[in-house]
Structure 1
Amino acid sequence: MRQFTAVVNPTAGGSTAAATLLHVARLLREAGAGLETVYSHSLAHAQDIALRAGERGRIVLAVGGDGIAGGVGGVLSGTGAVLGLVPAGRGNDFARALDLPADPAALARVLLHAEPRAVDTIEVESAVHQRTVVLGSVYAGVDAEANRHANNARLLRGAASYYAGGLRAVATWRPADFRVTVDGVDHTHRGYTVVAANSPYYGSGRLIAPGARVDDGLLDVVLIREAPRRLFFALMNELGTGAHVHRPEVHVLRGRELRIEANRPVPYGADGEVEAGLPVTVRVRPGDLSVLY
């Protein structure tokens, strides 16, 4: 029977991670699985717990949102360890990309019986983060500002916090001149944002890259050009269905490696946790992580 180590972010989703795990843990133990639970006090601590558990041959459960999923999944990338997700955070976008069930009983069945499947990860390099690996996406520009606002929101949760953060970020954003190099080919771009997506979703269910797949060995690169703010607000609403990609202001590229630069200081983020400034280099790591889904 499978042996699990649950790494819990106790602050995820308004402190709901522990409560979410309780339901799943009971079902795992009733089925005969072994489960140990460790509460992390930082992302670095969670990554250390995950590495040690993986070295002991245990399946590592990341309990929380995209931050802990990306941080734990990233550090396990390339190690041969197996990752399971217990979504309990603000966004849960990588779990959404894997189509993981929200029902505890159905999720427990996946963790107990699903065979590990290889997914791609994203390697991120910059002056601040010499080498970081994440799961979902890297985003530069207004999206990074929006995510910072969402993370700092006290009264809003889930999609509402991201939508409010997006409105606040767009209202004050000045378009930047980006240079995006995809597999050696330069693309100039004046606008709002550049997103390198492994997962179709970000920002709590927003379908930023409808064609992205977690196991195709490629990143979908979404560029949103300068446009009147009223049009950008309309585009934000279209992120719910992915219809924004049909607008002339949106351009989608695909590639294995890209570098994002800008003509002025521009922030970037990754999986809701990493926060730094451009330039940044991003590479896909095909099939580098085994995940239960």
Structure 2
Amino acid sequence: MRQFTAVVNPTAGGSTAAASLLQVARLLREAGAGLETEYSHSLAHAQDIARKAGEQGRIVLAVGGDGITGGIGGALSGTGTVFGIVPAGRGNDFARALELPADPAALADILLHAEPRPVDTIEVESAVHRRTVVLGSVYAGVDALANRHANQTRLLRGAAAYYAGGLRAVTTWRPADYRVTVDGEEHTHRGYTVVAANSPYYGSGRQIAPGARVDDGLLHIVMIKEAPRRLFFTLMNELKTGTHIRRPEVRVLRAEELRIESTGPVPYGADGEVEATLPVTVRVRPGDLPVLYRPADTA
């Protein structure tokens, strides 16, 4: 029977992570699985716990939101450790991409019986973050600022926090000048953002890259050009369904490696946690992490 170590972010989702684990934990133990629970006091601490558990041959569960999910998943990338997710944060975007169920019984069934499937990860390299690995997306521009505002919000949760953060960011953002090198080909870009997506979702369910897949060995590069502010608000609403990619102001490319530079200071982020300033290089690591999930076509 499987042996799990659950690494809990006690501050995720308004301190609901431990509660989210309780029902799943009971079902795992009733089925005969072993489960140890560890509470992290920082992302680095969570990663350290996860690596040690993996070295012992245990399946590592990230309990929280995209920050701890991406941080632990990135730390385990390339190690062969099997990874599972108990979604319990504000966004849960990588869990959404894997179509993980909210129902505890259905989630426990996946953790107990699903075969590990390899997913891609993203290597992030910059002067600040040397060889950091994340799971969902890297974004440079107004969305990085919006995410910072959302993380500072205490009164709102989920999509509402990200929407409020986006509104606040857009009111002060000015289009930036980027140099974007996609698999060796250089592009100039003036606009709001450049996103390298491994997952379709970011910002609590917004489909920034609706065609992205976690297992295709490619990053989807989404660039939103300079546009009137009123149009950008329209684009924000269209992110709910992914229809923004039909607009001429939006360009989508696919690549294995991306270099993002800018003429002025532009913030970038990744999986809701990594915060720094351009330049940054990102590259896909195909099939680098075995994850417990059940794709819809095999359910």
TM-score range, shorter chain: over 0.9
What is the match of residue 176 of structure 1? 176
Q: Which amino acid in 2 is paired with 1:262?
A: S
Structure 2: distance between partners of 1:103 and 1:206 = 22
Give the aligned partner of residue 108 of structure 1. 108
Secondary structure at the aligned position of 1:151 is classed as helix
Find the aligned partners of 1:43 and 1:177 in 2 and give their Cα distance: 32
Map of 2:223 onto structure 1: 223
SS at match of 2:21: helix
Deviation at 1:131, TM superposition (A): 1.1
Amino acid at match of 1:65: G
Secondary structure of the residue that 1:10 maps to in structure 2?
coil
CA distance in 2, matches of 1:131, 1:214: 20
Q: SS of the residue aligned with 2:15?
A: coil
Percent identical pairs in the alignment equals 85
Query: CA–CA distance in 2 between the matches of 1:263 and 1:174?
Result: 13
- Provide the rounded CA distance (Å) in 2 between the counterparts of 1:233 and 1:24: 39
Question: Which residue of structure 1 aligns with residue 118 of structure 2?
Answer: 118
Q: Are 1:155 and 2:147 matched, yes or no?
A: no
Q: Tell me the distance in 1 between the aligned counterparts of 2:200 and 2:18.
A: 27
Match of 2:94 in 1: 94
Give the aligned residue type for 1:83.
Answer: F
Moved over 3 A (4+): none
**In the TM superposition, what is the alpha-carbon distance from 1:214 to its structure 2 partner?**
0.2
Displacement after TM superposition at 1:51 (Å): 0.1
Distance 1:65 1:292 in 2: 17
1:22-101 paired onto structure 2 within 5 Å: 22-101=22-101
Q: Normalising by structure 2, what TM-score?
A: 0.98
> 2:17 maps to which residue?
17
Cα deviation code 1:158-190 (max 9, x no counterpart): 000000000000110010111110000011100
Structure 2 residue aligned with 1:128: 128
Cα distance in 2 for residues equivalent to 1:195 and 1:179: 13
The aligned amino acid for 1:235 is: L
- Counterpart amino acid of 2:94? F
Residue 124 of structure 1 deviates from its aligned partner by 0.1
The within-5 A match list for 1:139-288 is 139-288=139-288
1:41-78: CA deviations, max 9, x gaps? 00000000000000000000000000000000000000
> 1:75-132 CA deviation, whole Å, 9 max, x = no partner?
0000000000000000000000000000000000000000000000000001100110
Question: Partners of 1:292 and 1:138 in 2: how far apart?
Answer: 23
Separation (CA, whole Å) in 1 of partners of 2:131 and 2:84: 23
| Structure 2 unmatched runs, 5+ | 294-299
The aligned length equals 293
How far apart, CA to CA, are the structure 1 residues paired with 2:154 and 2:77?
A: 32
CA–CA separation in structure 1 for the residues paired with 2:219 and 2:253: 8
After TM superposition, the score normalised by the length of structure 1 is 1.00
In structure 1, stretches of 5+ residues that fail to align are none
1: CA distance between counterparts of 2:210 and 2:175?
24
Aligned-partner Cα distance in 1 for 2:170–2:261: 20
Residue matched to 2:297: none
